[in-house]
Amino acid sequence: MTTEALLAYAHFLAILTMTVFLASEAALCRKEWMNAAVVERLARVDMIYGISAIAVLLTGVARTWWGMKGTGWYWGQPLLHAKVTLFVVIGLISIGPTVRFLRWRRQLRASGTLPSETEIRNTRRLVMIEAHLLALIPLLAVFLARGG
């Protein structure tokens, strides 16, 4: 029982961390606010977002291995597969903003150049898509927790 509670806590903490840093990316990635400090901050925020996403994945897998319901129950549930698939889709989408944030920082450090309005808008759109897709995962989790 204690293991289950600690695994759930670690998973929820990772989810909350990931959500906070994804929301921070969405808030910072605006043309009105873009300056050198924001470019640097976006790269750091995205790194923490990525680390927390890995923590979400690892703690989620740990719950399936060491949780009370066991791997047979979890991996036999279509809703778990839907959650994991959605998580992977979000991860694939996040590659674009990550590459752009790193490129923006490299350009800023090399020439002092800030990203264009179009780059910022397109990158923010991807971050917002990630955020909206992420909001669907708890819905699947609620149904999964109730047995499908």
According to CATH, what is the number of the domain 2-145? 1.20.120
| The predicted structure's pLDDT at residue 91 | 98
Below-70 pLDDT ranges, the chain: 148
Distance CA 92, CA 20 (A): 19
**Token pair belonging to 74:** 């979890």
Distance CA 137, CA 84 (A): 9
Q: Sort residue 147 into left (φ over 0), alpha (ψ -120 to 50) or beta.
A: left
| The predicted structure's pLDDT at residue 148 | 58
- Of residues 78, 22, 72, the one with CA closest to residue 46: 22
Q: Can you give the residue ranges of every domain in the chain?
A: 2-145
Distance CA 108, CA 115 (A): 8
| The predicted structure's pLDDT at residue 71 | 87
